[in-house]
Structure 1
Amino acid sequence: MPVHDIASTALTRRALFRHSALLAGGAALASLPFGRQLLAHDVAENWPNVAAMANRYVSERKLANLLLTFGWRQEDHAHTVGGGNLSLAKPGAVDENSLYRIYSMSKPITGMATMILIDEGKLGLDQPVAEILPAFRDMRVLVDPAGDLQDTVPADRPITIRQLLTHTAGLGYQIISKGPLQAAYNEQGLVGGRVSRMPIPGFPVVTPAPGLAAWADRLAELPLMYQPATKWSYSCSIDLLGRVIEVVSGMEFEAFLKKRIFDPCGMTSTWMQVPASEAHRLTDNIGVLGGNVFPLDPAANSIYLDAPEVPAGGGGLVSSPKDYDRFLRMLLGYGRIDGKFVMSEEAVRVGVSDLIPATVDLTGSWLEGEGHGAGGRSKGATFGWGGAAGTLASVDFDLNLRSCLWTQYMPSEAYPIRDEFIAAMDADLAAMRAKKKKAA
C-alpha cells in the first residue's frame, strides 16, 4: 500500500519544539501548593480558560477533539480537561481509551527499549552500530547536505548507539533532507510514519521498503548528511534503532516492545496496526489547509488499519491517552509501575538525561540550549516529545507530574494550540492565586 507523507509540512522548528511550552506549563501547574488537590475534582471547573480553549476549537469545528491529561506521581489515572468527538462527521465522544496516531511520540518508547538492552549489557551506549549492522561500517558523508550523492568524503568516526538515540549520527530523514538525498530516500522507500491511503496533492507517492531489514540495508547504502557526532539534525535514527533491537534481541521489533514495555506497563492499546476489533476507538486525522479542514485519514478507512511494511520506531505507533500515561507513569516511577520494575532505575535516569556527545556543536540548531536523551528532549528534570499530528507528552521528575495533549490534525502548526494552552493555563493559575490570597 503506498504511503503518502505530509509530515514535512508539520515538522518545522515551531511544530517540533513548541512542546517545550507544555513542559513549562507543567512547572506552572505544580507551583500552586493546592494544585494536586484540584486535580482530584472536575478539572474543567478549576481550569476554565484551559477548558474554554479546548471547547472553542471543538465547538468551532476546527478540530474534532482536544483532550488534555494530567497525572501526579503514581496516581492510577490521569485527570482530563477538554474532549470532543472521534470525528467531525459523526458523534462519539473521545476519552482516555480513544486511539490516536502518536507519530514521533513513538521515539521515547523506542529509546527506552534501547536503554533496556543497554542496561542488560546486550548493547553499549557508545558501541559502533556496525558491530550489529555491518552494512554501516564504511559510511560516506556528503560534502554538501543538499548536493550530489557522489560528492562525498569518508566518515571520520563510526556511528554509535548514543548518536542514534540523540539524532547526532549524521543521518538524513525523508521529512528533513533536501535535494538528491531526499529524492533517494523517497526512491528507496525510506519512510517513517504513515499518513493516509489517499493521494495527497503535491506529495510524491512513495512505496515503502519491504520490511525493516531491507529498510536498514537501503539506508546504509546512502551517504550521511553530516559527519557523525558533529551536528544535531532530526533524523531517521530512531527508526534504525528498531532494526538494531531486532538483531540484538532476536525478536521482531514490535514483539520486543510488547514483551518488554507494553505488557509490563499494562499498555493494552498501543500498536503499529489497529486491530479491526478496536477500530471503533480510532480518531479521524484531519488536514488543515487555508483555514479549511478535510478528512486526511478517516478512521473507517485509516492506513493504520493496515499492517505497516516497515514498523517505524520513530513514528509508527497508535496509542491511547490511558496507555501513554502509563508509559509516562513508569518513567516517573524510575522504571517501576504497579509494584513491578519494567526497566531499572539507572536505565531510566540515563535515558532521560542529556546524552548528546560532547563533540556536537549545537550552535544554530533546533536544540541550542537544550538537551536530548533516549528519543526525547531533556532539559533539567523534564523529558518529553511531540507528534506530527498535534500530540504532546512530558514528565517532570522534580514535580512528579506527567502531562499530555491529545488531538489529531496536520500540519500541527496550522493552529497555535500549544501557545494558547500555556496562556490559558497561566490565566487560570493567576486567578487561583488571587482567589487564594483573597481568602487568606
Structure 2
Amino acid sequence: MAFREFDSVQVSRRSLFRSTAYLAAGGAIATLPFGAELLARVETSAWPNLASTIDSYVSAGKVANMVAVIGSGQDSPQKIAQGGQGFGRSSAPAGLDTLYRIYSMTKPITGMAAMICIEDGLMSLDQPVADFLPGFANMRVLKQADGPLDQTVPAERPITIRNLLTHTAGLGYDIITKGPLLKAYQASGIVGGQVSRIPIPGFTNAKPAPGLKVWADRLAKLPLIAQPGAKWSYSVGLDLMGRVIEVATGQTLDAFLQQRIFEPCGMDSSWFQVPESEAHRLSDNYGILNGVPLPIDVASSSVYLDRPPIIWGGSGLVCSPRDYDRFLEMVLGYGRINGRRVMSETAVRVGTSNILPEGADLSGSFVAGQGFGAGARVADGTYGWGGAAGTLGMADFGNGIRAGLFTQFMPAEAYPVTRDFRAALIKDLQVRAHG
C-alpha cells in the first residue's frame, strides 16, 4: 500500500494562523464553544457581520461583487452574495455559479491530485522528481538567491514529490524571484500564470513557454534558489507537480483532474479554458490603481476563453463558488462526497497534515510557525489557501466547517479582504455560539 508508512498520521494542530494569513479564521473558530450542528441550522440571513462586510466593499465600489460560501460537513452550502459580474454590466448578479479566476486556489486541487497518484502507487512522497523528469537530476543551487547564475554549488539532495507539494524544492516564482534568475525565468517563459491578453503594468508580461513539457524542461536547466528541503519558498512547485502527474499517469493534467476529481465531485464548472458558451458567467477582473478598480480582463474578451499555453497546476483554474465548495466538501468528508468515494481517507489525512521536510526553515515566510500539506497551509486542523485575485477557501476539520470567499481584484493585497472576512466570520460565529 502506498500509504502504509502514514497509517498513524494525525492532522497537525500545533499552531494558530497569524493575522496576515488567509486562514486565521480556522484557528480562532476552533476555540469557539459550538459544533457543526450550530452552523448547519443557521440561515444565511443570520450572518450580519459577513453581510455588512460584503456590502461595505460592493456598495463603496471597491469590487464589482463578492460571494461568501459557508458549509457544514456535507450539507448544502449557504451563501451571501452581492453585486454583479462586472461594473456597469447588465449580466446576472454574482452567485454560486459565477465563474472566478481562482489562481493559487488551484494548488490544493493539484495537491490532492498528487495524493491520488500516491494512493494509486504511481509515486511516493519522498521519491525523486528526476524519476519522472530526468532533467531534474544533478541540480545546481545559487550561492545567493539573487546572485549571478554562474555562482552555484551542487544540490545536496534530490528534489522530491514532498518538496514540490510544500514549496521546499528550492524553486523560484516569477512573482517573487529577484535578480538574474528572474530575468532567466522570464526569458525562458517560466511564468506562473496569466492575467490578460494585453500587457498590464505591474504584472509579469513575459511570453510563456509553449506547453507544460517545454516549460518543465527549461526550468530544469536553471539553478535553484535554495537547497532542496532546506527552506520554504513560494514557488512553481505545484505547476511542476502537474507535469509529474502527466508523466506518471500518461494523461494531461486537465484530463486527469477532470476524470479523478471534477467528475466524481460533481464539479461541472471548473476549467483551464472557459467554454465560449459559459463566458456570460465569468466575472470581470480588475486591477486596483490608487484605490480605483480598472478592468484588466473583461469576461467577453478574457484570456481565459483561449486555450492556455500551459496547464498551470499552481494557478490556472477558473471555478465557480459552488464547485470549489464541492471540492472542500470532498476534502472535509475525507475523500467522500454524496456517498461516493473520490480518494481514500488516508490520502486526505496525509495531504491535509503537516508534510514539511524535517528541519525546513520557515523563518521570514508567511507560513512561519505553521505547517504545510499538499499544496496548502495546515494549522490547528484547518487546510486551505487563497488566490491572487482576492479568493480564498478553507476546510476546518475540527468543526466540520468549510468556507470560501470569491471576488475579483488584483493585487490581492490592495484591500484587506481576507482579514475583514476572517474577523466578520469569527464575530458572527461567536454571536451564534453565545446567543
Whether these two folds match at TM > 0.5 is: yes
Alignment partner, residue 237 of structure 2:
237
Matched to 1:317, the amino acid is: L
Separation of aligned partners in 2, 1:202 and 1:318: 22
Alignment partner, residue 5 of structure 1:
none
| Alpha carbons of structure 1 residues 166 and 262: separation in structure 2 relative to 1, 3 Å | same
| Alpha carbons of structure 1 residues 22 and 307: separation in structure 2 relative to 1, 3 Å | farther
Separation of aligned partners in 2, 1:274 and 1:58: 25
Q: Is structure 2 residue 39 aligned with structure 1 residue 36?
A: yes
Matched to 1:183, the amino acid is: K
Secondary structure of 1:273's partner? coil
Separation of aligned partners in 2, 1:377 and 1:144: 27
Secondary structure of 2:385's partner? strand
Q: Is structure 2 residue 166 aligned with structure 1 residue 166?
A: yes
Q: Is structure 2 residue 91 aligned with structure 1 residue 88?
A: no
- After superposition, where does 1:179-328 map in structure 2 within 5 Å? 179-203=179-203, 205-328=205-328
Secondary structure of 1:405's partner? strand
Separation of aligned partners in 1, 2:73 and 2:333: 8
Deviation track 1:231-276 (CA, whole Å, cap 9, x = no partner) reads: 0000000000110000010011100110111111110000100000
Separation of aligned partners in 1, 2:97 and 2:32: 24
- Report how far residue 32 of structure 1 moved: 6.7
Secondary structure of 1:127's partner? coil
User: TM-score normalized by structure 2?
Assistant: 0.92
- Report how far residue 131 of structure 1 moved: 0.9
Deviation track 1:349-374 (CA, whole Å, cap 9, x = no partner) reads: 00000000003122333221100000
- After superposition, where does 1:27-176 map in structure 2 within 5 Å? 27=30, 31=34, 35-39=38-42, 41=43, 43=44, 45-75=45-75, 77-91=76-90, 92-176=92-176
Alignment partner, residue 22 of structure 2:
19
Secondary structure of 2:199's partner? coil
Q: What is the identity percentage for the equivalent residue pairs of Structure 1 and Structure 2? A: 53
- Report how far residue 379 of structure 1 moved: 0.8
Secondary structure of 2:405's partner? strand
Separation of aligned partners in 1, 2:68 and 2:366: 26
Separation of aligned partners in 1, 2:20 and 2:125: 25
Moved more, 363-372 or 287-296: 363-372
Which runs of no fewer than 5 residues in structure 1 stay unpaired? Answer: 1-13
Matched to 1:35, the amino acid is: L
- Report how far residue 27 of structure 1 moved: 3.6
Q: 8 Å contact 1:238–1:314 — kept in the other structure?
A: yes
Secondary structure of 1:349's partner? helix
Moved more, 147-156 or 78-87: 78-87
Which runs of no fewer than 5 residues in structure 2 stay unpaired? Answer: 1-16
Alignment partner, residue 369 of structure 2:
369
| Alpha carbons of structure 1 residues 98 and 220: separation in structure 2 relative to 1, 3 Å | same
Alignment partner, residue 9 of structure 2:
none
- Report how far residue 62 of structure 1 moved: 0.9
Q: 8 Å contact 2:36–2:72 — kept in the other structure?
A: no
Separation of aligned partners in 1, 2:64 and 2:355: 38
Q: 8 Å contact 2:388–2:411 — kept in the other structure?
A: yes
Alignment partner, residue 3 of structure 1:
none
Task: Quote the RMSD (CA, aligned, Å).
Answer: 1.9
Deviation track 1:97-147 (CA, whole Å, cap 9, x = no partner) reads: 110000000000000100011111110110001111000011000001001
- Report how far residue 394 of structure 1 moved: 0.4
| Alpha carbons of structure 1 residues 429 and 244: separation in structure 2 relative to 1, 3 Å | closer
| Alpha carbons of structure 1 residues 345 and 188: separation in structure 2 relative to 1, 3 Å | same
Q: 8 Å contact 2:174–2:191 — kept in the other structure?
A: yes
| Alpha carbons of structure 1 residues 281 and 177: separation in structure 2 relative to 1, 3 Å | same
Matched to 1:81, the amino acid is: I
Secondary structure of 1:147's partner? coil
Alignment partner, residue 336 of structure 1:
336
Q: 8 Å contact 1:22–1:418 — kept in the other structure?
A: no
Secondary structure of 1:385's partner? strand
| Alpha carbons of structure 1 residues 359 and 100: separation in structure 2 relative to 1, 3 Å | same
Secondary structure of 1:112's partner? helix
- Report how far residue 53 of structure 1 moved: 1.3
| Alpha carbons of structure 1 residues 290 and 347: separation in structure 2 relative to 1, 3 Å | same
Secondary structure of 2:82's partner? strand
- Report how far residue 425 of structure 1 moved: 3.3
- Report how far residue 427 of structure 1 moved: 3.9
Matched to 2:336, the amino acid is: R
Moved more, 89-98 or 280-289: 89-98
Separation of aligned partners in 1, 2:279 and 2:430: 41
Q: 8 Å contact 1:25–1:425 — kept in the other structure?
A: no
Aligned residues: 418
User: TM-score normalized by structure 1?
Assistant: 0.91
Q: 8 Å contact 1:236–1:314 — kept in the other structure?
A: yes
